[in-house]
Amino acid sequence: MGDLLKDLPTDYIPPSAEESDVLRVLYDDSEVIKQQNRPPSAPGGSRTLADEITTAATLAIVFAVFAGGWWDDIIGRMIPPTKGSAVSVLIVKSVVFMMVAYIMLNSGLLGRPTTSTGS
């Protein structure tokens, strides 16, 4: 087992001015910092069960759309080497699904303001 936290050696040196500034900036209670650090999906700062269910249902619908056989014909026309191989069509469909899922899952980050830490 490991040591208990209370038994670990600690120093009691107060933080320097720079460390205090960093702590004040990181843990400030101002509303501006709270708004910038809040994910766009939920007003409380954490994802709710409804957000998770919506994401899963949306990905399931996108997967069902890509599972349709008519995509094989479209991919075969767009990428001729995949016409004779079911494996290559499956690979292309998987890559396209991953790209669409990535864009959907990260679309909330597009509108987030960037924070600059200029010195």
DSSP string, 59-101: HHHHHHHHHSTHHHHHHHHHSGGGTT-HHHHHHHHHHHHHHHH
CA distance 10 to 3: 13
| pLDDT digit string, tens, across residues 109-119 | 666 555 555 54
Across 36-61, average pLDDT: 70
How far CA 101 is from CA of 26, 32, 87, 108, 114, in Å, comes to 32, 31, 21, 13, 23
Q: Name the band, by pLDDT with cuts 50, 70 and 90, for residue 42.
A: very low
pLDDT computed for residue 95 by the predictor? 92
Position with higher pLDDT, 105 vs 46 = 105
pTM of the model: 0.50
